[in-house]
Structure formats: C-alpha cells, structure tokens
C-alpha cells in the first residue's frame, strides 16, 4: 500500500509592498511586506501612532490598501468584492478591537454569541461554546451583566471570547493585554498560544515588551 504525503493546510497571510494613507493624510503604512503563518503568534510593536492598528485593519480586511497586495491563502484580496471580504471576515477572522466595542443594550452572553447568529449556528451549541470561552477567560460569572457593569479588562476578555467563537483561522487583536493584570495577561497569552498550536495564525499589536518577548 502506498502512502501519499499529507499536505497540512496552514492559514497564511502574505503582504506585498502595501501602502496606506487615510484621506488627506500623509502615508501611514509605507511599503510593508511580510508573511504571517498559521501556528505562530506574531507581535507588531512600535510607538503610539506608528500605524499598528491601521496595519491590523488592513490585515483584517477592514481597510483597503492604497496600493500593494494582501493575499489570504494565496488569494489576492484587493480584487475581492466588499461582500466577499465581509464573508472572509465573518468566517475566517476573529478581530478584537482595542476598546472592546460591546453592545451596551445586550448582556455579556448575547454579545459573545452575536457573531454566531450570522453564521447560522444552533443557539444551544453557541451558548455552550460561549460559556466554555467565558470560563477559560474568567468572565463566566458576568454572563448576564450588561457591558456598563463590568471592568475594562473584563470587557476586553469578553470581546476576545466573541472573536474566538468560530475558531477563526486568523486571530487579530489590538493591544489585547492593555488593561489586564499579569495573571490575566498570562491567561490571554496562553490562549493565543493554544490557538496557534491548533493551527491558527495569531497577530497582535502591543507595546508591552514582556508580551513581545513571548511572541
């Protein structure tokens, strides 16, 4: 019996000579090229205002580059339609904004489960998954609270739970440990490492040298 080599698929993000400027602004991103692999946690670091968040928005297909190309698993993203990009964002990406951006009118649990509605997942299964994630990040006891009743660090971890609901191939997080104490920061970094070990491509922006040294 012959054995065919097993091709392990790894999510891959390739950036080629990308430039970006906001309307009427000087260039924020100039000639950026890099490759991000599944299985790795990569930290983007640099002083405030250098363009970390902007680069994450580009990598997460929220901004369109002014020139250059970003490939996802070999596919050029600049020629994708807005709806195709939205589909990628919903199914392949988990994005965590720096300021959590939770819906204040809904409970923590509903916020975590929000994206699964777009993916037509069963409610009972997403509820189970949401609780598993909230347990992992130590915020399950806040499930029925509103975002106005929790701390900034809890909000940040709840946004992380929401982003991880679909086991995304690409996890992109903007200063995800900014509001966290050292223990909780370790929980979050361990979570990134375990997702990367499971094959995800994790990219974070941070100016914390301890976090950088662990990426």
Residues that bind ligand ADP (CB under 6 A): 22, 25, 28, 46, 48-54
Q: Is 53 in the site for Mg ion (CB under 5 A)?
A: yes
Find the shortest distance in angstroms from Cβ 81 to ligand ADP.
23
Find the shortest distance in angstroms from Cβ 23 to ligand ADP.
7
CA–CA distances in Å: residue 58 to residues 82, 99, 109, 180: 14, 18, 29, 26
Using the contact rule CB under 5 A, the part of the chain among 6-14, 46-54, 148-156, 190-198 near Mg ion is 46-54
Closest to ligand ADP by CB, 126 or 156: 156
Closest to ligand ADP by CB, 44 or 108: 44
Find the shortest distance in angstroms from Cβ 167 to ligand ADP.
27
Find the shortest distance in angstroms from Cβ 200 to ligand ADP.
22
User: Which of ligand ADP, Mg ion, none has residue 148 at its interface (CB below 5 to 8 Å by kind)?
Assistant: none
Helical H runs in the chain? 52-59, 82-92, 108-118, 123-136, 152-164, 182-197, 209-213
Find the shortest distance in angstroms from Cβ 158 to ligand ADP.
21
Strands 201-205 and 170-174: parallel
Q: Which residues 6+ apart lie within 8 Å of 40 measured at CB?
A: 196, 201, 202
Q: Which residues 6+ apart lie within 8 Å of 110 measured at CB?
A: 103
Taking alpha carbons only, the member of 176, 171, 183, 184 closest to residue 208 is 176
User: Which of Mg ion, ligand ADP, none has residue 62 at its interface (CB below 5 to 8 Å by kind)?
Assistant: none
Could you tell me the two tokens for 117?
A: 């509605």
d(CA 200, CA 194): 9
Q: Site residues (CB under 5 A) for Mg ion?
A: 52-53
């Amino acid at each position: 019996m012959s054995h065919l080599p097993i091709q392990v698929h790894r999510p891959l993000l390739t950036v080629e000579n990308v430039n970006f400027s906001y309307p009427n602004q000087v260039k924020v991103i100039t000639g950026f090229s890099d490759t991000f692999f599944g299985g790795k946690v990569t930290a983007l670091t640099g002083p405030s205002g250098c363009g970390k968040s902007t680069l994450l928005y580009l990598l997460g297909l929220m901004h369109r580059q002014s020139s250059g190309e970003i490939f996802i698993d070999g596919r050029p993203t600049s020629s994708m339609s807005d709806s195709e990009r939205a589909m990628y964002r919903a199914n392949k990406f988990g994005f965590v904004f720096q300021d959590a951006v939770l819906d204040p009118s809904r409970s923590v649990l509903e916020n975590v489960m929000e994206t699964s509605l777009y993916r037509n997942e069963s409610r009972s299964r997403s509820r189970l998954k949401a609780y598993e994630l909230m347990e992992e990040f130590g915020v399950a006891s806040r499930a029925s609270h509103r975002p106005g009743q929790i701390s900034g660090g809890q909000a940040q971890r709840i946004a992380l739970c929401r982003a991880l609901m679909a086991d995304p191939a690409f996890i992109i997080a903007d200063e995800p440990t900014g509001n966290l104490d050292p223990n909780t920061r370790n929980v979050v970094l361990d979570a990134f490492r375990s997702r990367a070990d499971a094959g995800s491509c994790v990219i974070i922006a941070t100016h914390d040298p301890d976090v950088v040294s662990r990426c």
